[in-house]
Amino acid sequence: MQVSQQYLSDLQLQRLHDKKRPLVALMTTALVLLCTALVAATAWMIWSSWHVHMHEAEITTANMAQALASQADTAMKVADIMLEDVVEQAETDGSTGAEGGRLQRHLLGLVSRTAEIYGLFVYDEHGQWMATSLATPQAGNNAERDYFVFHKTHRQRTTYISAPVRSKSTGLWIIPISRRLEHPDGSFAGVALATLRLDAFERVYNNLNLGESGTIFFALDNGTLIYRRPFQEKLIGKDISSGALLRTYRERGPVGTAMLMAKIDGVERLYSYRHLDRFPIVVAAALSKDDIFANWRAFSLQVGAAALGAIAALIWFFRKLMRQIAIRDRVEAELRTVTGELESANAALHSIASQDALTELANRRHFDAVLERELKRAQRSGKPVSLILLDVDHFKKYNDTYGHVAGDACLLTVAKAVSDGAARTEDLAARYGGEEFAVVLPGTGSAGALCVAETIRKAVMALQMPHAGSPSGIVTVSLGVATVCAADVHNPACAPAHKPDQLALIRRADELLYQSKSAGRNRTTA
């Protein structure tokens, strides 16, 4: 009983202490959730801003690429139409004599009406100038030029675009656009050439805002670089066919956007490219990744710093709050310690008041209180209550023979057997007085009580404690078992005469005990 009372006291104190645990746990959970939500919101804002910047850059580069492609396509179409006209006149009317003069004037007229074209030229099969749009014809031979060699060795009648070259007449960088001339028998008759000034494209491209590290370029399908901004003369004609953009064009098709690493300078850029519909040219505009995300990085740092500051403030406030709770906990711990000491003292007093000092069973006072309580409960519920009274046979002789110390040891051993017999939690084993013991069995009828009594009797016999003063030679006990219950419809076995009465029940059990003694001891009477 002492252990049970102490446990209940500790449990009560623990419950008082635990009342704060849900609050602390709730506050901790709320802090974690709030910080997580703040981090998630910050991450979402940064991620969303990144996508907005990326999308805007894609639209910008795509629009620039479309504008560049449109401008280049227009210039190429004008040159192509002029060349088609020049080829027809040269092949039909000829390019020598009076016909050559008319052709010369025709070239001058065409160029004067078209700003995109720098010059128009006609060469014979040997590379000699036959007609030109220049005001002053120049001497020289263009047979070694790439376009001239191509037309001489290929019977292709379509327009051919070459890598930029320096004009022999002016020294300017020009883009040659040419067509093959043929004699009536189909043999090579020369080349009709239109040239576009490279710096004309550069003037247009310089008006575009490409940031610090953006670029524009257009190249032939075979990877020959025609122009790149920022302009570097050494890059003209460079082979970039193995570069990332040309590979992407071959894999994805004529129009696209991709983040790529430039082969020329190693800068990562967002490229938008377009392939001209009628000409073997790819045009691209690009913004560097650093330029695209410069503002985004600044925004991300500001938002991230603000979020970290807010989280730091929340953690600081939470720590202050936890410190206050910790101070209260220490005060409450001291109070619990004092309360526990008081409870322990009360439990000890209760144990002294309700426990037999020798056997540690319930004492007579506690027995009376429990029996009264159970009889009242039985009066309400109609359930039976049984009482076992027993005492040690010939115990006076045992004391006379072995002494009081041995007698106390004998009582302790018998008390253990009695306690073991009262196995249920609600059963009560008590020392009734001297060598007498009692067992209260709530909710137990006479048959069950008789079984418990016999278990105790046999357990004592099984101990085989020597007793020279007993006829059996060992320590035995005699027992009396009495049962009472209130008569009700739920317990038809209970007679009305057997209503629960504490004194009557004790008296009846005592009478049955003495019947066991009179009948020879070491037996149970019910």
- Give the whole-angstrom CA distance, residue 185 versus residue 147: 22
Q: What does the DSSP 8-state code read for residue 145?
A: S
Angle, vertex CA 244, rays to CA 241 and CA 247, nearest 5: 60
Give the C-alpha distances (Å, rounded to integers) separating 49 from 43, 56, 116, 303: 10, 11, 42, 11
Peptide bond into 230 cis (omega under 30): yes
Q: φ, ψ for residue 252 (rounded to 5)?
A: -105, -20
- Summarize the chain as % helix, strand, coil (round to 5): 55, 20, 25
Specify whether 435 is catalytic.
Answer: yes
Q: b/e string for 312-336 if b means 16 or more Cβ within 10 A?
A: eeeeeebeeeeeeeeeeeeeeeeeb
428 DSSP β-pair partners: 440
d(CA 124, CA 143): 9
Non-local CB neighbours of 416 within 8 Å, separated by 6+ positions: none
- The burial class, CB within 10 Å (0-12 / 13-18 / 19+), for 476 is buried
How far is it, in rounded angstroms, from Cα 406 to Cα 398? 8
Burial of 7 (0-12, 13-18, 19+ CB in 10 A): exposed
Structure tokens at 385: 């209550």
From the list 202, 372, 435, 511, the catalytic residue is 435
Q: Which of 259, 254, 210, 262 is nearest to 238 (CA)?
A: 262
Written as one letter, the residue type at 281 is I
Total Cβ atoms within 10 A of residue 235: 15
User: Token match 């206050």: residue?
Assistant: 324
Torsion of CA 312, 313, 318, 320, to 10 degrees: 110
Q: Annotated catalytic sites, by residue?
A: 435
